Each structure stands twice: as C-alpha cells, then as structure tokens.
Amino acid sequence: MSQVIHHTQVDGIPALFAHTTGPMLAGLVFRVGMADETLGQAGITHLVEHLALHRQGLADYHFNGTTKAAFTHFHVKGTDQEIVAYLNGVCASLTDLPMDRLETEKEILRTEEAGRSTGQLPLWRYGAQGYGLVSYPEWGLTQLRPQDVLHWAERSFTRENAVLWIAGEGIPAGLSLKLASSARHPMPPVTSALPAAPAYFSGGKGGVLLDSVVREGVAAQLYAAVLERELFRSLRQESGFSYTAATDCEARGDGFAVITAFADALPDKQDAVLGGFVDVLAKLQVGRFEQADLDAVRARADEALIAPHAAAQLLSSAAEKVLAGRPVYGPQELRAELWAVTPTDLHAVALEASGTALMQVPAGHRADWAGYAPAPTRSSYTVTGRRFASAGNDGTSLLIGAEGVSLTGDGESVTVLYRACAAKLTWPDGGRRLVGNDGLTVDVEPGFYGIDPQTMATIDAAVHPSATVWLPPRQHQPRPASERKATAAPTTTATTGGQGENPPTRRTGGQTAVLIVFGLAAGLWSCMALLLTLFGATDPQTTTGEWIAMSLFFWVVAALLAWPAIRILRRTRRT
C-alpha cells in the first residue's frame, strides 16, 4: 500500500490525500482557534463549530468537530456518499449559520464547559492572551451577538484558510466545498508571562506537571518518549511513589512543540515525587541516556510508520502544517529522520527543554531549591492615583489612577493597566475584576473600599468595551481582600462570580497543638452529650424540658470546641 501523501486541490482548497482501504476518513481543517480570540470574546470559534454541525443531525456515520488553540477540525468517517454529504453540509452551514440556534448552542457550550477541566500551564506561560486562553472559561459566550458570530465565520472559515484531507481509495465525486474568500490567517503570536525560565508555580491537588517548548521534530518526540520511560521506571517501578507517569509531545504549529510530563502523587508522597521528578530531569540534562531506552522508543515509533495506514494517520496533523506554512513529511521521510537520531540529539533536546521548563508543583511546595524561578504573582510597579483603604483595616489598599488599578498590601502590589486589560468581569452588584494580559488580576469591590460611583465609572470608561464581560449575579458573596490572594490563575467558579479557595498552607507546631487539644476536648464533650441525649430522659429527677435544654447545651458546647480544630483542618495540611 502506498505510503505517500499526495497534494492536490478541491474547489480551490488545498487537499491532502493518502490511499487506504476500509471506511473513508476525511477532515476539513481551518487556521483559527482559541488563541486567535480575545478573553472578552472567548468561545466564539467553538460556537461557530457547534452551529456548523447542527444541521448534520443524527447521522448513522461518525462525525465531530474540535476547536484547538490554533486550529479547528471537522472530521468524519463513512462511505463516499456520507463523506460528501458531511463536508458539503459543513461548508454550506459555515456560509449560512443557523442563527436561530445561537442561544441554545450557547447553553450547550456552557454545560460542556462545566464538565471540562482546563490546565493552568498555558495561562502561566502565555498570560491571558494567545495560547494562554485555553486555560480560561469561555467568558465571551454570554454577550456574543449574531453579527459578531457571522463576522467571525466570514473572516475565519474561508477557502484560503482551510485544508482538506482524505484517506481512502480515491477522492469522492460530488464534493462542493463552497466557502467565502479571505486571506489565510498567520499563526497566533507567541506571548510570554514568564520573565525567566525554568520557572514554577504552586497549585493543583497533587502530582507534578511540567511543560517545555522545544524545536519541533522527531528528536523531540523521542525525547518525550524516553522521559516517560525514565519517569515510569523511577517513580513507579523503583520507588512506588506514583501510579501514573506519562508524557506527550504536541506540535504548536510554529515550528516548535510542547513537551508535557506528569506524575501523580498521594499527599504524603508529594515531596518524594517532586524530588524524584527533578532527579530524572537532571539525569537527562547531563546526557545520561540509555541506548536501550532510545532503541525501544524508536522501534515503537518505527512500527507506527510502517503500518499499512501510516500515511492516513498523518493527514490531520499534515493539514495543520500546510496551514502554518510548515513542510509536510511522509512516513518514509520521517523514518529516515527517526533512525538518524542519536543520544547526542536527545541531550540537545533535554537542554533546550530545561531552559524553557514551567513546572506546576503541589500546593504548598516550592521548586526554587532545584533552580526554578517562582513564576510572578505580583507586579513590579504600582499606578499613581487615588488611594482607597480597605474597610476591614487589613492593610490593603486600592490605587485607582488614569493608567490602571493596583492592589497593594504587605509591601507587594498587583497592577492591571487599562491598556493591557484582557477582560473586565462585571457583576450586577457593582463588583469588577480586571484581568491583565499577563494573567494577574485585581478585584475592585466598591463595598470593601468605599469607592464612589463616579470613580467606578472612570474604570468602566477606561477599559475598552470589547474587554467587558457581563456575568450573572454572584452565587456567593465576595470576600474581603485580606482573604483573597491575587494570583495569576483563574478560579473554577469565576464564571458565576465565586471566589476560589486559597490552597492549604503547611500546619505549624502551634496549630497542631491547638488541633489536638480542641479535638480531644470536643470528642470527650461529644461523648457526654451523646450519653445525656440517649439516657437523660430516663432520669426520674429530670423533666422532659430540662433534658432537652441540657442536651442542646452540651451539643452546642461540643460544636464550639470542635470549630477551632475544624478551621485548622480546612486551612492547613500536615507537613
């Protein structure tokens, strides 16, 4: 079977074809994705994708759509006739979107988002723009108007901005891919929120997660595979600290790839997993690659490239390369590159990866001891303007000036400039949250700082209307600034106005002593309350009313004794 990727055209759209048997596979890829949006309109590409697929209805063949950071895919599997019906239907919908479905599809997307977990690494690496938007909720959905969606589709889902790919026995007859015309989009600009690398931040429920940006190529893929073997061998087989140790290597589209590595950990094993993870990286950074590991991962990669459907499996990613202006290689060319990779090449990738690494460590942990710089959670400057002190006398203040807003306290500050405001979240109760392009946020709560309506109006006027995001009423009351830590990461409840909980801190010796004393006292008093509740009613010298009053009193005292211990358990974790 041919292992060649053929280049052709269909209705003026570049097309890639690979010969294969069995059910036909096909896809239409557009050079537009989440990284092309702004935070204020986040979700618009995903919304167009959903609208375009609505008219497909319940088909017997398999089809779907996917919105990624820089590309949007429509793909299908079926007979020649089913492929033609699907692709023609998608193109027809893209030029005539069913706008009567707009609000319904918005609700579907909000429901989909509620069950989706987004990683925080892109946010910390790129900020609240470009590739960093994949870490954020689709805040723009609420206020997108029909004309906004139509304009986005007319501008982005066009003939020049698309590539078709087909895997089958031939290109089916009857394809009519009628799309609007416009210039092809360049790749999204790569922004950075990291002043230095390697860097780390603390967060998450457990485990260690790391990504690095390296030059795209077979060597990068093999390095990722070797890293996975090393992590699995060290953290699971030898030490038993982790259950899952895995890596991935995904092309970004601009000639670079993102290598991601992860190892999970139980709470009492987090220190050990972090140390073991760093040790594995250090081993590879000094060039200690086992030839057996390279041979094993290369053999597995080679098996995939000599498989009967190898060329077909490459078509989707090849379409992305065409849209990005990158060269497309077939299985034979990739095999030649594969067998030319040496341990020296892997060492070069390891060094490149170490210089761009961003690590997420478990909450309460650090990685500066391993040479990782803390990712910035504070600003190096404040604006000049009117000061509003916190009503809680907690030492925090808001500075509101002509250039932006700063939250200050404890000698540190977080600043968002109006010209660099990615989004201004707006609630009906008057609260505002300014999200800077660097991912840092400042909450502006008029009630906490005594900010007058005129000053709030100046903030609203200073931020560009396209960055304003209107949100529904908050389900939870906002907390004072002393209880909210400004961070670079959004909270999972931000779309409804809730505030994320601060990660637990390490428990001090004094807190442990208080926990033990009050825990024991609460336990003993609860036993007395339970005995009184169960047997006090049978005491002939006690009336029913007295029994109820005494039982209630004992349970209230037990609750008061338990409360300090409960607060410590909720806000701290064992060292």
Residue 509 has pLDDT above 60, yes or no: no
pLDDT of residue 573: 43
Q: What is the pLDDT of residues 161-201, one digit of tens each?
A: 999 999 999 999 999 999 999 999 999 999 999 999 999 99
Residue 145 has pLDDT above 70, yes or no: yes
The candidate with the shortest Cα–Cα distance to 446, out of 458, 429, 461, is: 429
What is the dihedral angle through the alpha carbons of 192, 195, 199, 205, rounded to the nearest 10 degrees? Answer: -60
Q: What is the pLDDT of residues 454-498, one digit of tens each?
A: 999 999 999 999 999 999 998 877 766 555 544 444 433 333 233
- 3-state helix, strand, coil split of the chain in percent (to 5) is 45, 20, 35
For 35-152, where are the E strands, in sequence order?
Answer: 62-67, 72-78
Phi and psi at 269, nearest 5°, equal -115, 5
Class of domain 6-168 (CATH, top level): alpha beta
Residue 569 has pLDDT above 70, yes or no: no
The reply to whether domains 6-168 and 199-308+325-374 share a CATH topology is yes
Q: What CA–CA distance (Å, rounded) separates 245 from 243?
A: 7
Q: What CA–CA distance (Å, rounded) separates 425 from 328?
A: 42
Q: What is the pLDDT of residues 245-254, one digit of tens each?
A: 999 999 999 9
* Domain extents in the chain: 6-168, 199-308+325-374, 385-495, 505-573
Identify the CATH assignment for 199-308+325-374 out of 3.40.1280.10, 3.90.1300.10, 3.40.50.720, 3.30.830.10: 3.30.830.10
Mean pLDDT of the chain: 88
Q: What CA–CA distance (Å, rounded) separates 426 from 422?
A: 13
